Amino acid sequence: MRFKRTAAAIALVSLPAPSFAQAVPAAQMSPAAAPTVAADPKLAARLRAAEAWIETQIARENIAGASMAIIHDQQIVWSRGFGYANVARHVPATAQTRYSICSVSKLFTSMAAMRERDAGRLDIDKPIGDYVRWYNVRDVATPDGPVTARGIMSHVAGLPREADTPYWSEARFPDLATVKARLGEQTNLYRAYDTLQYSNLGMALLGEAVAASSGQDYHDYVRANFLAPLGMTRTTSELPVRLRGGEFAIGYASRRSGWSREAIHPYTLNALAPAAGFASTVEDLGKFASWQFRLLAGGGENLLKSSTLREMQRVHWMTPDKPDETWGLGFASFQQGGKTFVGHGGYCPGYRTSFMMRPQDKLAYVVMINVDDGEPGRFASELYALTGADIVRAAAALRPLPGAAPAPPQSPSEALPEPAIDLAPYEGVYTAMFSAGDAYVAPYGNELMVIDLFVDKPAGDITRLRHVSGSTFRRVRENDSLGEEVRFDMGKDGRPTRLWWHSNYLDRKK
């Protein structure tokens, strides 16, 4: 726990409250939520603490709006919106708000290509020009193999990163005729499999290959073979600009100075749609994750073969000495806390998305924001760090599987007797006007946990408090011995009004 003034705190105190940071009512839990899992007391406490941390971070970073969801197996454990989908009209962001999901679109294009491969219509190891007849990118001087769908999906085909127009600079994306006209003026950057080169151009070409091999328009193909069967009714393969400012969040530019953000004009991705054109909601991407968990667990074939999905999520490329540059077929693969995740991030003007899954635990975290300069991956990672273990534990307790590993040993707090007082009244946000020491306090097992709301990684900064007597607690050190005293002033209603720590105090906010 910190009692010191930071630059972030100075900024929040000295500037007038921005419209972006105004509080909005919490979105209701999705009807598809899993109360049997989410109601686990320890998990529920972590989720409430996570919400308080997210609200603080969104205000601190002046993020216009955000929507987030946590999925376990076939259930949405938690989903919520924060801030605004439309700042000017105060339209709140909810779990049903649509955002551009940007490069997460590549997962659908890659799955379409693999479905065509399994149908025997697209050979992912043949030159892409065998399917995209107008492909005429100039090759490097000494090519070491053709540009293929397999190389494109792992971003090692050697292609230029972009089609030859300045669409990222202008947020105006070319039609197919323009891409075709400029393609012959472009040259591959590397030999195939020489180096990682992320390529939106490659994914646009792969979408054209799917259309050619299937004889079906790309958008029709994805809708018929993935979106409709999965019930992803709020997902489209192009941005629904007619809904902009209502169901579809407005995208906002990076802050250039102060708190102001400029709304980015409406746009569609046109020929780049297979690379970055999709729009969705966090709950629709939850359906996408749940389908993958079903397929991997059940085997067989459901839209894709289970073996094909496993193939896509395996590592196909890792840059030497760079473990973060690791790709499957369409999927990124990465490590967090020694555990492996798969998924994809996304960025388009005004929007960022993080879609991360841990198939081994049937867990998925989805975060969407409608500003240029936020970090949805940080929110997703910290949500996992805060809640992942508790979700797995709670789900296992509800549905123990035959032959499952024995339950892990009790944590020190679980082994303690029940405290002599009810810990529930202590829960809430405690704040100091002249310090960035704001904290969320909540019961967790037989102790209180304290999360600093201003830190970047709250899961690694949790403090445990053990009850001693009355309204006095002591900090639990790493070796489970007791440290300094922490005391609460109590009101007439039996609820704390102030927290004292190291001779300084935080007042209860809510």
DSSP-derived letter for residue 226 is I
Q: Give the pLDDT of residue 324.
A: 81
pLDDT of residue 409: 56
Quote the CA–CA distance of 149 and 192 in Å, as a whole number. 11
Question: pLDDT per residue over 390-403, tens digit each?
Answer: 999 999 888 765 65
Among candidate residues 466, 461, 420, 409, the one with its CA nearest the CA of residue 443? 466
**What is the topology classification, in CATH, of domain 107-218?**
Beta-lactamase (3.40.710)
pLDDT reported for residue 414 = 62
Which residues are CB-neighbours of 469 under 8 A, at least 6 positions away?
420
- Chain segment 258-274, per-residue pLDDT in tens: 778 999 999 999 999 99
Residue 20, pLDDT > 50, answer: no
Longest dimension (CA), the chain: 82
Q: Of 82-86, 102-106, 372-376, 413-417, which gets the smallest average pLDDT?
A: 413-417
pLDDT (0 to 100) of residue 270: 98
Show me where the domains of the chain are located.
7-100+236-398, 107-218, 412-508
Where are any strands of DSSP class E within 75-144? Answer: 75-86, 91-92, 99-100
d(C-alpha 354, C-alpha 365), whole Å: 8
Mean pLDDT, residues 95-108 taken together:
98
Fold designation for 7-100+236-398:
Beta-lactamase (3.40.710)
Asked, colleague to colleague, whether 107-218 and 412-508 share their fold, the answer is no
User: How confident is the prediction for the chain on average, in pLDDT?
Assistant: 90
Main-chain dihedrals φ then ψ at residue 402, nearest 5 degrees: -55, 135
Q: Which CATH number fits domain 412-508: 2.40.128.600, 2.60.120.920, 3.30.420.40, 2.40.70.10?
A: 2.40.128.600
* Mean pLDDT of all residues in 420-440: 89
What's the whole-number mean pLDDT along residues 328-346? 95
Task: Give the tens place of pLDDT for each residue, 375-384.
Answer: 999 999 999 9
Taking only the tens place, the pLDDT of each residue in 222-259 is 999 999 999 999 999 999 999 999 999 999 999 887 77
**173: pLDDT confidence band, cut at 50, 70 and 90?**
very high
